[in-house]
Structure 1
Amino acid sequence: MADTQFDVIVVGGGPGGYVAAIRAAQLGMKAAVVEREHLGGICLNWGCIPTKALLRSSEVGHILHNLDAYGFSAKDISFDLKKVVKRSRDVAKQLSSGVGHLLKKNKVTVIDGQGKLAGTDGKLRKLEVTKDGKSAGTYTAKHVILATGARARTLPGMEPNGKTIVTYKEAMVPETMPKKLLVIGSGAIGMEFASFHHDMGAEVTVVEVVDRILPAEDAEISAFALKQFTKQGMKIHTGAKVHKLEATAKGAKAEIEVKGKKETLEVDRVILAVGIVGNVEDIGLDGTKVKVEKTHVVTNEWMETGEPGVYAIGDLTGPPWLAHKASHEGVLCVEKIAGVKGLHPLNTNLVPGCTYCRPQIASVGMTEAQAKEKGHELKVGKFPFIGNGKAIALGEPEGMVKTIFDAKTGEFLGAHMIGAEVTELIQGYGVAMTLETTEAELMHTIFPHPTLSEMMHESVLDAYGRAIHF
């Protein structure tokens, strides 16, 4: 008979859930993961990983169409969309099976089905698991961690039909490449899909309701990004409203209003990228003290809900809704349960954000506006890609690095970057902020030459009027 009692059961096998279960096992706890679909969750199967595989293909396409700049020529460049999509799916499949192997290696039990809180049995939490509508057993644990993630938000009058009006999930596996695409929403997901389709030859229009694209980023980075996307040939409307969206025989029709003027846009496909909602339904929250606000579970700094023995992590809880934040929360939650000493609650200010459009965007810490709002007097440094030897050699001279310091104390408050490979560079600033570095340590750090990372040094120097190469 299968074992049904555990120290920790995690509901959801995404980057928060499976990491929490592995850490629990490492700490000597008997752990299980309940997963209804794919190990690795949305991130690994339908988000972070497969989108990067698609974007890699579009990046190759962009290079192939600009070979002359590098001294090459090629004729009849074409792509096979089925192969592009297959590569993306194969990457996701490889990593998902890898997660299964890691759980097995760490002796974590994987329970196939959907988990639901079902009251208590003495001091233990009860969890009912169903599969295809049928009972798949009742399990008990001292601690239950909810990691059920989130799904794409839909708006009234803009419901997806799965074919011509789609969310990220259908956009991951297109059967055809649209000639004309409308993306509604200009956050990270919207701009990554806009970038992919544009580099694959589609005519792309982006509509954003607020007054700038990538609204979570520093305003200067948003403005730089807008300039680059417009230069590439994308049509971008900010401060715009979609009044009507409907499927047509050939695609979709949208009625949009930009600065008081209405226009009708006919396209082959629409991608909705208007945010996410937490998967709070059917997990047994009714009758518990678990509080839900705006579709997300409320927790304290240790991921504890209002219900004893029940925790929540990842996209099910508050922002930022990022895989690496979920993984960090999973580890922190389990270590707190295990009584590990010297833990620090998650500081969301230290969670880096990365967007893999072309050019890439990455940030950590406060924006300039946020730092001013908090009353800091600032020293701000900037350095352009055009002043960097490696960027020019790569043929990537468009970009900038921006750093923000407290003028009085030298505290490092934030860093914002746009340009080639900045998603790989941002962790340098992340380490610096975690170590509570000031400008002095960063100035005395030796950066290798020739690298893009030298711009990180120069931006710090510029904040104090000491930039060498610009």
Structure 2
Amino acid sequence: MSTHEFDFCVVGAGSAGYAAATTARRMGKRVAFVEGEGELGGLCILRGCMPSKTELRSAQIAHLARTAGNLGIRVTGVEPDVPAVVARKRCIIEGFADYRAAGIKEFPLFRGQPKFTGPRELAVDGQTVRASKFLIATGSHIHVPDIAGLRATGFVDSDGVLELERPQKSFIALGGGPTSCELSQYLRRMGCDMTIVQRSATLLSLEDEDVGTALAGAFEDEDIAVHTGMSIKRVERAGARKRVVAQRGREEMVFEADEIFLALGRRPNVEGFGFELAGVAFDHGGVKTDAYLQTTNPDIFAAGDVTGDYELVHVAVYEGQLAARNALGAGKQKADYDLQHARAVFSDPQVAVAGRTERECKQRGIEYAVASYPFDDLGKAISADLTQGFAKMLAAPDGRILGVTIVGADAADLIHEAIALVYFKANVRDVIAMPHLHPTLAEILTYPAEELCERLEGEAHVLVSP
């Protein structure tokens, strides 16, 4: 068994791992990757962000063609060519993956299932890799819950949906989170009948209630049935179809479809790596880290989905870079998620958040004022037939912007102004003072800002107390 020595060894070559490795290389360190036998590229490129958004774009074009009559354009015979949609996605993703793989291969790369054999060494494919510091960035996997009959009945997950060239005629989606919302709408626009069964009271239950309510309304306009507050009791065969038995209160409800789409989240990859032999504490929720991304072994750090915190690519990149700097002596800096936890859901309308939500302010005991403005009262949105949704702004008593939520067309792009406002601790008065071109969707942020400015300066009792 040969032995190899490095300054920094990165276990996992996804977004967090690649960011950490390139950061360490810029610091002049000897860096190696350890990655499994599968295709190189990571979740985002291979099975997550990029393939899903590629196929969502095709679905959006199909929907625009069907609804073009709203703008005086008649388009007949709109027929999604799903095999062509999938083929286009594969071609695009192959290019992304090849580019990332080339970058990974610039480092020493060990392929195979790694297993720690001590506090600063691991075994992989008959070789021993030792390093002064390690980063665990092993990512996550799709969670299959213990629902009676689910495994026996069978299902398709997000990986499978993105590869379906001939999707079944009808689906029941289990879950109402971001992946379910995006891909349920994709399947509907590809011609499938869709039913969403969700345990929480609203779609996107981690966001404010008005977000899920607005999205559910948009889904219902597209004949996507949304059932919230449901407890799933069992899954079973119903001849050639599949059945989900659920309960809301005392009422039992039965749903049938050709296929079940499982979208109940992901779990960190923590099993089979020998973390216990390295003195790294973990459980089903992920590898345990402190504020510096250091594990219970001072020479091993962790970043990305494996920590179980935020399943967001920009957060994984941030954590990877920060962990590398902290591990390799470039100072010690705590992770600051207040500035990192912006997010978007690429449904239609899109959902995007920067900074605090009302839910978070109430949970943390933060006083705030809130104002919102609907897209159906915005000139550009009306003229472009993009009237679904709203923009909501939260401000502190002194007018500092705490957070912005946007539900609407291009929200994932519009939110970047809000990210800058939160990052630079801007005041609602700054938004009013900044020029916003007319007519644009971006103008919408000026309206809640104006309302908040007037209320905070001219009225008492405008704050929401926790």
| 2:429–2:453 CA contact under 8 A, matched in 1 | no
Residue of structure 2 in register with 1:444 after alignment: 433
Question: TM-score normalised to the size of structure 1?
Answer: 0.91
The one of 344, 347, 356 equivalent to 1:357 is 347
The one of 104, 125, 128 equivalent to 2:123 is 128
Q: CA deviation at 1:49?
A: 0.8
Residue of structure 2 in register with 1:74 after alignment: 75
The separation in 1 between residues aligned to 2:150 and 2:43, in whole angstroms, is 18
Residue of structure 2 in register with 1:108 after alignment: 107
2:419 is aligned with 1:430? yes
The one of 266, 277, 281 equivalent to 1:276 is 266
Residue of structure 2 in register with 1:11 after alignment: 11
> What's the CA shift string for 1:388-442, capped at 9, x where partnerless?
23323332111211010112x3232211110111011212212222222222333
Amino acid paired to 1:21: A
> What's the CA shift string for 1:267-313, capped at 9, x where partnerless?
01111111221110111112333221433111011110001211111
Report the 3-state secondary structure (helix = DSSP H, G, I; strand = E; otherwise coil) of the residue aligned with 1:287. helix
Amino acid paired to 2:88: R
Percent of paired sites with the same residue = 27
Report the 3-state secondary structure (helix = DSSP H, G, I; strand = E; otherwise coil) of the residue aligned with 1:228. helix
Distance 1:158 1:197, change over 3 A: farther
> What's the CA shift string for 1:181-202, capped at 9, x where partnerless?
1001001011111111112221
Name structure 2 gaps, 5 residues minimum: 457-466
The separation in 1 between residues aligned to 2:140 and 2:186, in whole angstroms, is 23
Q: CA deviation at 1:46?
A: 0.6
The one of 278, 285, 306 equivalent to 2:296 is 306
> What's the CA shift string for 1:22-65, capped at 9, x where partnerless?
11112211212222123221121011110101111110110111
Residue of structure 1 in register with 2:460 after alignment: none
Q: CA deviation at 1:466?
A: 8.0
Question: Which range moves more in the overlay, 350-359 or 458-467?
Answer: 458-467
Residue of structure 2 in register with 1:419 after alignment: 408
The one of 242, 248, 267 equivalent to 2:257 is 267
The separation in 2 between residues aligned to 1:2 and 1:61, in whole angstroms, is 56
The separation in 2 between residues aligned to 1:258 and 1:143, in whole angstroms, is 50
Distance 1:178 1:172, change over 3 A: same
The separation in 2 between residues aligned to 1:33 and 1:158, in whole angstroms, is 40
2:332 is aligned with 1:333? no
Amino acid paired to 1:382: S
| 2:147–2:232 CA contact under 8 A, matched in 1 | no
Question: Which range moves more in the overlay, 425-434 or 369-378?
Answer: 369-378
Report the 3-state secondary structure (helix = DSSP H, G, I; strand = E; otherwise coil) of the residue aligned with 2:203. coil
| 2:268–2:308 CA contact under 8 A, matched in 1 | no
Q: CA deviation at 1:162?
A: 10
Distance 1:204 1:64, change over 3 A: same
2:49 is aligned with 1:48? yes
Distance 1:13 1:348, change over 3 A: farther
- Give runs of ≥4 in structure 1 deviating > 4 Å: 158-164, 341-344
| 1:163–1:170 CA contact under 8 A, matched in 2 | no
Amino acid paired to 1:311: F
The separation in 2 between residues aligned to 1:337 and 1:443, in whole angstroms, is 43
Q: After the TM superposition, which residues 29-178 of structure 1 pair with which residues of structure 2 at under 5 Å, given as runs?
A: 29-36=29-36, 37-104=38-105, 107-120=106-119, 125-130=120-125, 135=126, 137-157=127-147, 165-178=155-168
Report the 3-state secondary structure (helix = DSSP H, G, I; strand = E; otherwise coil) of the residue aligned with 2:184. helix
The separation in 1 between residues aligned to 2:81 and 2:154, in whole angstroms, is 20
Report the 3-state secondary structure (helix = DSSP H, G, I; strand = E; otherwise coil) of the residue aligned with 1:465. helix
Amino acid paired to 1:451: T
| 2:116–2:277 CA contact under 8 A, matched in 1 | no
Q: CA deviation at 1:250?
A: 2.2
Report the 3-state secondary structure (helix = DSSP H, G, I; strand = E; otherwise coil) of the residue aligned with 1:403. strand
Report the 3-state secondary structure (helix = DSSP H, G, I; strand = E; otherwise coil) of the residue aligned with 1:72. coil
Q: CA deviation at 1:5?
A: 1.9
| 2:293–2:335 CA contact under 8 A, matched in 1 | no
Name structure 1 gaps, 5 residues minimum: none
Residue of structure 1 in register with 2:459 after alignment: none
Q: After the TM superposition, which residues 234-253 of structure 1 pair with which residues of structure 2 at under 5 Å, given as runs?
A: 234-253=224-243
The separation in 1 between residues aligned to 2:422 and 2:241, in whole angstroms, is 47
Residue of structure 2 in register with 1:459 after alignment: 448
Question: Which range moves more in the overlay, 421-430 or 453-462?
Answer: 453-462
| 2:233–2:246 CA contact under 8 A, matched in 1 | yes
Report the 3-state secondary structure (helix = DSSP H, G, I; strand = E; otherwise coil) of the residue aligned with 1:418. strand
The separation in 2 between residues aligned to 1:249 and 1:457, in whole angstroms, is 56
| 1:350–1:434 CA contact under 8 A, matched in 2 | no
| 1:25–1:108 CA contact under 8 A, matched in 2 | no
| 1:210–1:239 CA contact under 8 A, matched in 2 | yes
| 1:181–1:269 CA contact under 8 A, matched in 2 | yes
Q: CA deviation at 1:177?
A: 2.1
| 1:211–1:238 CA contact under 8 A, matched in 2 | yes
Question: TM-score normalised to the size of structure 2?
Answer: 0.92
Amino acid paired to 2:87: K
2:307 is aligned with 1:317? yes
The separation in 1 between residues aligned to 2:8 and 2:148, in whole angstroms, is 40
Residue of structure 1 in register with 2:464 after alignment: none
The separation in 2 between residues aligned to 1:117 and 1:159, in whole angstroms, is 36
The one of 393, 403, 410 equivalent to 2:399 is 410
Q: How many matched pairs?
A: 455
Residue of structure 2 in register with 1:379 after alignment: 369
The separation in 2 between residues aligned to 1:175 and 1:162, in whole angstroms, is 24
Q: CA deviation at 1:223?
A: 1.6
| 1:383–1:400 CA contact under 8 A, matched in 2 | yes
> What's the CA shift string for 1:361-389, capped at 9, x where partnerless?
01122221321333333221212112323
| 2:299–2:327 CA contact under 8 A, matched in 1 | no
Report the 3-state secondary structure (helix = DSSP H, G, I; strand = E; otherwise coil) of the residue aligned with 2:376. helix
The separation in 2 between residues aligned to 1:360 and 1:345, in whole angstroms, is 28
The separation in 2 between residues aligned to 1:344 and 1:299, in whole angstroms, is 11
| 2:375–2:381 CA contact under 8 A, matched in 1 | yes
| 1:162–1:170 CA contact under 8 A, matched in 2 | no
Q: CA deviation at 1:108?
A: 2.3
Question: Which range moves more in the overlay, 396-405 or 78-87?
Answer: 78-87
Amino acid paired to 1:216: L
